[in-house]
Amino acid sequence: MRKSPIALTVNGRTREAWVWPHQTLLQVLRDVLGATEVKYGCGEGVCSTCTVLMDGESINSCLMFAVQAAGRSVTTVKGLAQGEELHPLQESFLAHDAAQCGFCTPGMLLIAHEFIGRHPQPSREEIREALAGNLCRCTGYTKIIDAVESFAMDRKDPASTPPAGAAPR
Amino acid sequence: MYPAPFEYVKAAAWHDAVDLLKEHGDDARVLAGGQSLVPMMSLRLASPTHVVDVNDIDGGTIRERNGTVEIPALARHAELERSPVLASVCPLLAEAAGLIGNVRVRHRGTLGGSLAHGDPSAELPCALLALEGTVRALGPEGERRIRAGSFFRSYFTTSLAPSEVVVAVEVPAARDRSGAAFVEFANRAGDFAIVGVAAVVHLDDSDGCRGVRLTAGGISDRPVDLSEPAAALLGQPPNEALIADVAGAVSESSDPRGDDRATPEYRRQLVGVLTKRALHRAWRRAAGAEP
């Protein structure tokens, strides 16, 4: 067993790391690359707070080994905002007080963003189902669903939502 | 909740994966989508010394040739769900794939991985059995074809030999005037299904039932073929009353297991309800009455 070097893109920046084969992408993002906005909840694919986008598609970063991410492009929740300017979905979370302790928020934001990108006119029921895999232990689901629903309804033009991952901003 | 250390080896082709499995025996595991293996490793239910990553193998694309649909083992659930080929010639697999876990799991999990894992409540094994599909497995002696009916042996146990890997799956293309449906019940969206049912209904020119396939997952140590009790539909034009009768008979004939999530009685009830829904939808689709 030995470490090997990998290079990957995180929120548009190329990063390099030496990783053990058994280190998950989540461990390396947090402990080696300092991307602590990606949260460690359960480590077994149940809670989804470690959600990131891999080449634009959501994955649980605890269920992928870091060596497998070599050459790939990772977007964390920080990739949603443009510098200091929050993404409209983040603004909607703020406006609805959708974060209590905030631990599930990174995963909630990334999944809601991906979901609305694919389903621009969702029903409230569809939003609930899309977020069902993301656990909030404050059980503040109602406000989270309100925030996502309001964001979806406020968007006049579906094309105006910037894609995450494909072109990190 | 972290995996134990292991040697990581990348296979460039399926025969490399077979060689590596042969070399390291029971201590090696194939890493495809990792949506079952990695949680098991994190929980230390599995601690392989060698992990053989097959994700870089080029397995080809989903295609139909002469009435047979060929699907590479590494097709991800999301790919099955969105494939235009499957939408037209094998909608049952697409519908079943769309019910698996949540979107993150579907982005990574693979068809071959789900079949080889052999979870008795999983969607794809149940759908493959309904479709009378074939698993193509590569081993040290070459490739062999295993029919779905003899592939699933017991809980998390298949007829794959220790150094065999699933390389592709073949299913017959859906025939004209046939319809299929996969329905399941889970306590929470995205959770493991307590019972799942797959149905295929084939109609003749006078709207009589010419063929029916029915399978259920989550009721035994492997997906179960319930086509025999469902054969009461044959030769008759399906209607709601007839389907309700057949579903009752199917439920009666089923012998579900109980566990900490559901009693045998509850599962038997679910088999009846879900069979009714699945046959109804498959029939309506065969008749062109619903998409």
CATH 3.40.50.300 fits B63-172, yes or no: no
**What average pLDDT score do residues B161-190 get?**
96
Chain B residues within 8 angstroms (CB to CB) of chain A: 1-8, 31, 34-35, 38-39, 42-43, 51, 53, 55, 78, 101-105, 107-108, 188-190
Question: Under CATH, to which class is A4-79 assigned?
Answer: alpha beta
Inform me whether the pLDDT recorded for B1 exceeds 80: no
- A124: Cβ contacts below 8 Å, ≥ 6 apart: A145, A149
Provide CB contacts within 8 A for B271, sequence distance 6+.
Answer: B195, B197, B216, B219, B226, B250, B251, B254, B256
Q: Where are the domains of chain A?
A: 4-79, 88-160
Backbone phi, then psi, for A46, in 5-degree steps? -100, -40
Answer whether A5 touches B (CB < 8 Å): no
Cβ-Cβ contacts under 8 Å, A20 against chain B = 5
Closest CA to A150 of A118, A116, A114: A116
B/e letters for B144-174, b = 16+ CB within 10 Å, e = fewer, are eebebeebbeeebebebeebbbbbbbbbebb
Would the CB atoms of B2 and A27 count as touching at under 8 Å? yes
Question: Taking the complete model, does pTM exceed 0.90, yes or no?
Answer: yes
Residue contact A115–B103, C-beta within 8 A? yes
CB-closest option in A63, A114, A129 to B38 = A63
**Minimal Cα distance from A65: which residue of B?**
B38
pLDDT at residue B101 in the model:
95
Task: Give the C-alpha distances (Å, rounded to integers) separating B8 from A23, B13, B54, B289.
Answer: 11, 15, 11, 51
- Nearest-CB residue to A22 (from B4, B43, B78): B4
Adjacent-strand bridge partners of A158: none
- In terms of Cα–Cα distance, which of B170, B184, B180 is closest to B202? B180
Query: What percent of chain A is modeled with pLDDT above 70?
Result: 92
Please report the pLDDT score of residue A156 as a whole number: 55
pLDDT at B29: 97
CATH of the domain spanning B178-286, picked from 3.40.50.300, 3.40.50.720, 3.40.1080.10, 3.30.390.50: 3.30.390.50
Q: Give domain A88-160's CATH number out of 3.10.580.10, 1.10.150.120, 1.10.3720.10, 1.20.120.1080.
A: 1.10.150.120
CA A121 to centroid of chain Cα atoms: 21
Q: What is the pLDDT of residue B189?
A: 85
Contacts with B, A 120-149, CB within 8 Å:
128-130, 132-133
pLDDT per position as a tens digit, B68-96: 999 999 999 999 999 999 999 999 999 99
Residues lower than pLDDT 50 in chain A: 166-169
pLDDT score of A160: 55
Contacts A–B by Cβ distance under 8 A: 87
pLDDT at A166: 45
Instruction: Tell me the domain boundaries of chain B.
Output: 7-51, 63-172, 178-286
3-class secondary structure per residue, chain B: CCCCCCEEEECCCHHHHHHHHHHHHHHEEEECCCCCHHHHHHCCCCCCCEEEECCCCCCCCCEEECCEEEEECCCEHHHHHHCHHHHHHCHHHHHHHHCCCCHHHHHHCEHHHHHHHCCCCCHHHHHHHHCCCEEEEEECCEEEEEEHHHHEEECCEECCCCCCEEEEEEEECCCCCEEEEEEEECCCCCCCCCEEEEEEEEECCCCCEEEEEEEEECCCCCCEECHHHHHHHCCCCCCHHHHHHHHHHHHHHCCCCCCCCCCHHHHHHHHHHHHHHHHHHHHHHHCCCCC
Beta-carbon-side half-sphere exposure of residue B266 (alpha carbons within 13 Å): 12
Average pLDDT over residues B19-45: 96
Q: For the domain B7-51, what is the CATH code?
A: 3.30.43.10
B104 and A51 in contact by Cβ < 8 A? yes
Q: Which of A27, A44, A128 sits opposite B43 (nearest CB)?
A: A44
Q: Taking a contact as any Cβ pair under 8 Å apart, which residues of chain A between 26 and 65 contact chain B?
A: 27, 42-46, 48, 51, 54, 57-60, 62-65
* Model ipTM value: 0.93
